Structure 1
Amino acid sequence: MTSRQRLVLVLLLGSQFMISVDFSILNVALPAIGRGLHMATVDLQWVTTAMMLPSAGFALLFGRLGDLLGRRRMLIVGMALLAAGSLVGGIAQEPAVLLAARVVQGLAAAAATPAALALLTASMPEGPLRDRALGLNGTVLGSGFVVGALCGGLLTDLLSWRWAFFVNIPVAAVILAAVPALVAESRGARVRLDLPGAATVTTGLLALVFGVTSAAQYGWGSPWTLVALGAAVVLLAAFWLIELRSAAPLAPVRVLARRTVKYGNLGGLVTFAMESGVCFLLTLYLQKVLGQNPMETGLTFCGLGGMCIVGGMVAPRLIGRFGNRAVLAGGLALQAVSTAALALTGSHGGTGALLVLLAASTAGGFGHVSAIVGYMVTATSGLPAAEQGLATGLASMTQQVGVTVGIPVLSAVATAAGAGASGLHTALLVDAAVVLAGSAAVAVGLGRGRRAPVSAA
Structure 2
Amino acid sequence: MTQRTTASHAVLAVVLACQLMVGVDATVVNVALPEIQMRLHFTQTGLAWVFNAYTLAFGGLLLLGGRAGDLLGRRRMFSLGVLLFTAASLLCGLATRPWWLVAARALQGVGGALASPNVLSLIMSNHAEGPGRTRALGVFAAASSASLALGLLAGGVLTLVGSWRWVFFVNVPVGVAILVLTPVFVRETETRRGRFDLPGAVTATAGVAGLAYGVARTTASGWADPVTVAVLGVAMLLLVCFVLVEARAEQPIMPLWLFADRRRATAYVNTLLVPGTVFAVVYFLTQHLQEGLGYGPLASGLAFLPMTVVLMGVVRRVGDLIGRWGTRPVMVAGIALVVAALLWLTRLTGDSGYLADVLGPLVLLGAGAGLTTVALSVTSLSGVRAEDSGAGAGVFQTLQWTSWSLGLAVLVSVYHRASGGGVSSAFTGASVIAGLALLNALVLARRTACEASDVSAGGGG
Using the size of structure 1 for normalisation, the TM-score is: 0.94
Distance 2:355 2:49 in 1: 30
Q: CA deviation at 1:442?
A: 2.6
Residue by residue over 1:329-384, the C-alpha shift from the partner in whole angstroms, topping out at 9 and shown as x without a partner, is 2211211110110122232344xx54320110121012112211111100100122
CA contact (8 A) 2:254 2:392 kept: no
CA contact (8 A) 1:188 1:387 kept: no
Pick aligned residue for 1:342 from 342, 345, 350: 345
Distance 1:29 1:282 in 2: 17
- Taking only aligned residues, the RMSD between alpha carbons, in angstroms, comes to 1.6
CA contact (8 A) 1:268 1:371 kept: no
Matches within 5 A, 1:396-407: 396-407=397-408
Q: State the match for 1:455 in structure 2.
A: none
Matches within 5 A, 1:6-25: 6-25=9-28
Q: CA deviation at 1:225?
A: 1.0
Secondary structure at the counterpart of residue 111 of structure 2: helix
Distance 2:36 2:407 in 1: 23
Q: CA deviation at 1:443?
A: 3.1
* Structure 2 unaligned spans of 5+: 453-461
Q: State the match for 2:448 in structure 1.
A: 448
Pick aligned residue for 1:306 from 299, 304, 309: 309
**Identical-pair percentage:** 36
Distance 1:30 1:148 in 2: 13
**Residue identity opposite 2:414 in structure 1:** V
**2:219 matched to 1:216?**
yes
Q: CA deviation at 1:188?
A: 5.4
**2:85 matched to 1:86?**
no
Q: Give the 3 Å change call, closer, same or farther, for CA 384–43 of structure 1 in structure 2.
A: same
Q: CA deviation at 1:418?
A: 2.9
CA contact (8 A) 2:349 2:422 kept: no
Matches within 5 A, 1:85-104: 85-104=88-107
* Structure 1 unaligned spans of 5+: 453-457
Distance 2:175 2:413 in 1: 36
Q: Give the 3 Å change call, closer, same or farther, for CA 328–191 of structure 1 in structure 2.
A: farther
CA contact (8 A) 1:345 1:354 kept: no
**Residue identity opposite 2:436 in structure 1:** A
Q: State the match for 2:324 in structure 1.
A: 321
CA contact (8 A) 2:78 2:118 kept: yes
Distance 1:257 1:27 in 2: 39
Q: How many positions carry a matched residue from both structures?
A: 446
Distance 1:187 1:52 in 2: 30
Distance 2:407 2:166 in 1: 27
Distance 2:51 2:302 in 1: 21
Distance 1:40 1:304 in 2: 34
**Residue identity opposite 2:93 in structure 1:** G
Residue by residue over 1:416-455, the C-alpha shift from the partner in whole angstroms, topping out at 9 and shown as x without a partner, is 0035xx2310110110111111121133236437xx9xxx
Using the size of structure 2 for normalisation, the TM-score is: 0.93
Q: State the match for 1:177 in structure 2.
A: 180
Residue by residue over 1:172-215, the C-alpha shift from the partner in whole angstroms, topping out at 9 and shown as x without a partner, is 10110011121111145322111111111111101111111111
Distance 1:41 1:333 in 2: 39
Distance 2:283 2:254 in 1: 33
Q: Give the 3 Å change call, closer, same or farther, for CA 166–396 of structure 1 in structure 2.
A: same
Distance 2:265 2:50 in 1: 31
Distance 1:191 1:336 in 2: 45
**2:65 matched to 1:62?**
yes
Q: State the match for 2:253 in structure 1.
A: 250
CA contact (8 A) 1:266 1:442 kept: no
Distance 1:187 1:48 in 2: 35
Q: State the match for 2:334 in structure 1.
A: 331
Q: State the match for 2:240 in structure 1.
A: 237
